[in-house]
Amino acid sequence: MPLDSNSLCPGGRGKKIRHCCPKLTKELQRIESQLSGGQFTAAVRSVEQLEKEHPNCACLMALKCTALRAAGQMAPYAEAAQKFAAAEPNNPQALGEWALATALGGDAVEALGTLIRAFETSEPGKLHSSLFGPTLVLAGVLADTGKESPAIALLKILRQYDPQNTETAVMLRRIYSAPGLPLFVKEPFFDRTAPENWLGTARYNTALSALAMGHWHAARTILEELTDYAAAWPNLWRTLAVARLWLCDEVGSSDAFARFARAAGVPFDDALDAEILVNFAREEDDLINAVQASYEITEEDRLLEALLSRRDLVNVPFDPRLFGDADHPGPSHLFHLLDRPVPPDDVPITLETAPRRLARVLLYGRQTDRPARVEINALEPNLDTAVERVAALAGDGWKAEPDTLREPATSWLAMRLHPEFDLGRAAARLTPEIVKELSRGYFAEVFLPAWMEHPSADLDGKTPRQAAAENFPPVRLAAAAAMISLQLPPASVDEAETLLRETLHLPTPAALSAPEGDDEARRFFAALPIWRWNRVDPRSYSPAVAARLLPTAHLLGESRTVLTLARRILDAPAPAEGDAAAFTARLMAYDRLIDEASANDATLDGARDLLKRAYEEARLAGASDGALNLKELALCLADQDIEGFRRMLAHITQTHRGEPEVMQALQVLLVRLGLINPDGTPRAMGAPAAGAAPMGGAGSLGGDTPMAAPPEEPSSGIWTPDSDRPSSGGGGGKLWVPD
């Protein structure tokens, strides 16, 4: 609607133009017309001309910010936004512009402080409409810089004011599904009520209201004033820790979590969660440098021949453009140096025979401005071994003094926990069973003994063995062990946790049971942190309750809970004939379990049995089987059944063309396979090459093939020469399918 004298001031003062700057009505209309017509530079000139006669006018400053931002003039925009905020320190729109400019400039923490001031200057119980955009942008910047918790909190505030906004829902889903951090780090639990007889209850409730509205500075102040009463109710420390975390005060948050975890009377489970958060917040001080060392060589051909002849070196295909450009040519060869030779075909692949990568060796030929050289990339503990072995192959043609460059370090735990098994061509002999046995054996026989003797910052510099012998608080030992299990794939966690508990003599987590009755069970789960749902005996709640919980567990990425709920859902009898709605509730359960079976069964028999059962239920219920067709398509691909893939692809495009969700999911899959571009146009005719997989990992169908757009591709866990290749993204547009 065009501006007129009764329109609200575009400068965020909450007044009508006729009460704010009535003499500028026509000029404001002209500037608005320029903006709507894309004449951003002209709009800036118009504002600057008017500012000479009307300095510090909020309307003009706001429009200038809009025009500069739209024109992409970010430096002038930041200057204008700062001036706007300085002139209008209690104006939420002015503060929102400055927060947005600061966030776009890369300082997310400073931007957050300004945005919270904007929230706190908004009318109580409301959010100024101009703050939606800056909040959404800042949430994305925070998430991208490793500050997921405040990003989620900001997005949930937006959802309160605008539940139907799809942008906030999509961003929340992206943050929740991103790997790397467990849910209780992204969204830590805190108490929504305080004991009635506690002296600080009334003020605590005020702080909770302030947290919910985004008034985090005010909430933190109240909570800090209540710490005098924390001895009677230590849970206050946990809520204060969350408030500080949302304000990006990691040091203060960690201190409050530690006070909560170590207070008397705190339940073990709650203290464990808090101790893990303390460990996550700690500055990583146990780092290993990655080193790049370059050595001149004089007999390039001799060295190349020696490198190619060794079974403890893998010649890796690569794109030279990844390592150089027109002015600095890339290497001629790339090798992986292994700790032992690749086993011959007649030698079984076991922990004793499977080689692990020690270093990357790049061979560069002679160039105009420099001699031939070898570049060795390795973690510092492996460098001497790698240099010694390559130098022995080079013989006399080797310069002893290297050019050395230290690169970003990696943690000792990450380096030792995930071995880089590298089998070269022998990788074709890997089966899921061999992979499991390698992982299991490495964890128990190599990693765990080394970890027990390694000093840990999480244990005040003691080794786990020393800490256990000195009766270190069990909750801190359990938190240190949890830092390991949190980095393992879901299928390995139960066994690893059991072994860690036995080694450290830790208590087994108590099993939980839901109360009788579906309503009571749902309330029980609502009050229980979701990361503990997997400990609830599935026999204590009904399949109907499981069906209500599964979408939430799936959205929030609780993998083990998802599988438990899916199995419980399918404990119920198949839906009655014609009951399509009941089958729809079971479809996600089949989807998750088929994925799990395909990832852990080399024959795919278990996945096909589940798919057959799901097809029969869909037929009896009269429901669409489009999602199941997509699952079968992925199974054909994982089984390298190219003809089956072609037939199923043709069936889907003919039978389900009128089902947008199915066709969208198919398009995502085809883009990921490289058959079509994100806009739907073809990239390659025919089916994908044999052995291709729609998701990470041989034999795996991945996470979300039949359900909307999937998240980022996970790693397969075992390193292979092509595991670092980028994947294609999803997209919209007209869908092309091969003939």
**Which tens digit of pLDDT belongs to each residue from 547-590?**
999 999 998 888 889 999 999 999 999 988 888 888 988 999 99
Report yes or no on 107 lying in a domain. no
H helix runs in 122-267, sequence order: 132-144, 148-161, 166-177, 183-186, 201-213, 216-225, 235-246, 250-261
How many C-alpha atoms does 676 have within 13 Å on its Cβ side? 21
Predicted pLDDT at 84: 92
Report yes or no on 261 lying in a domain. yes
Task: Tell me: do 540 and 590 sit in the same domain.
Answer: yes
> Position 159: which residue type?
R
Cross-strand partners of 296: 373
pLDDT, tens digit (0-9, with 9 covering 90-100), for 353-398: 999 999 999 999 888 778 889 999 998 889 999 999 999 998 888 8
Predicted pLDDT at 125: 82
pLDDT, tens digit (0-9, with 9 covering 90-100), for 132-151: 999 999 999 999 999 999 99
pLDDT, tens digit (0-9, with 9 covering 90-100), for 97-116: 999 999 999 999 999 999 99
Query: Using CA atoms, how far apart are residues 240 and 245, in angstroms rounded to an integer?
Result: 8
Query: Using CA atoms, how far apart are residues 657 and 672, in angstroms rounded to an integer?
Result: 20
Report yes or no on 153 lying in a domain. no
Report yes or no on 700 lying in a domain. no
Task: Tell me: do 410 and 473 sit in the same domain.
Answer: no
- Look at the chain and report how many structural domains it folds into: 4
> Do 135 and 115 contact (CB within 8 A), yes or no?
yes
What are the b/e assignments for 3-29, b being 16+ CB within 10 Å?
Answer: beeebebbbbbeeebeebbeebbebbb
Report yes or no on 68 lying in a domain. no
Query: Using CA atoms, how far apart are residues 446 and 420, in angstroms rounded to an integer?
Result: 13
Whole-Å CA distances, 53 to 15, 61, 152, 381, 505: 21, 13, 44, 69, 77
Task: Tell me: do 414 and 302 sit in the same domain.
Answer: yes
Residue where a domain terminates, one of 659, 676, 696:
659
Predicted pLDDT at 708: 32
Report yes or no on 42 lying in a domain. no
> Do 608 and 592 contact (CB within 8 A), yes or no?
no
Task: Tell me: do 444 and 528 sit in the same domain.
Answer: no
- DSSP code per residue over 116-156: HHHHHHSPTT---GGGHHHHHHHHHHHHHTT-HHHHHHHHH
In eight-state DSSP terms, residue 443 is I
Task: Tell me: do 257 and 300 sit in the same domain.
Answer: no
Cα 14 → chain centroid: 40
Task: Tell me: do 385 and 450 sit in the same domain.
Answer: no
Question: Where does the pLDDT of residue 15 fall: very low under 50, low under 70, confident under 90, or very high at 90 and above?
Answer: low
Task: Tell me: do 297 and 403 sit in the same domain.
Answer: yes
Over residues 195-199, the mean pLDDT reads 95
Q: Which residue has the higher pLDDT, 34 or 107?
A: 107
Predicted pLDDT at 5: 54
Cα 146 → chain centroid: 9
Predicted pLDDT at 689: 45
Task: Tell me: do 560 and 655 sit in the same domain.
Answer: yes
Predicted pLDDT at 22: 57
Closest CA to 133 of 101, 170, 87: 101
Q: Which residue has the higher pLDDT, 689 or 648?
A: 648
CATH number of the domain residue 249 falls in: 1.25.40
Residue where a domain terminates, one of 363, 393, 422:
422
Q: Average pLDDT, whole number, for the chain?
A: 85
Closest CA to 585 of 610, 611, 618, 633: 618
* Domain that residue 239 falls in: 188-281
Query: Using CA atoms, how far apart are residues 343 and 349, in angstroms rounded to an integer?
Result: 7
- 728 pLDDT exceeds 50? no
Question: Where does the pLDDT of residue 696 fall: very low under 50, low under 70, confident under 90, or very high at 90 and above?
Answer: very low
Q: What is the dihedral of CA 48, 51, 52, 53, to 10 degrees?
A: 140
Task: Tell me: do 411 and 332 sit in the same domain.
Answer: yes
pLDDT, tens digit (0-9, with 9 covering 90-100), for 283-307: 666 788 888 899 999 888 889 999 9
Task: Tell me: do 449 and 346 sit in the same domain.
Answer: no
Cα 435 → chain centroid: 25
Task: Tell me: do 617 and 488 sit in the same domain.
Answer: no
Report yes or no on 303 lying in a domain. yes
pLDDT, tens digit (0-9, with 9 covering 90-100), for 426-443: 888 888 788 889 999 999
Whether the predicted model's global pTM rises above the 0.95 cut: no
Q: Order of strands, edge to edge, in the sheet holding 357-364?
A: 313-315, 333-338, 357-364, 373-379, 287-296, 403-411
Report yes or no on 143 lying in a domain. no
Residue where a domain terminates, one of 422, 447, 464:
422
Closest CA to 27 of 40, 43, 16, 6: 43
Q: Which residue has the higher pLDDT, 206 or 723?
A: 206
Cross-strand partners of 376: 293, 361
Task: Tell me: do 313 and 355 sit in the same domain.
Answer: yes
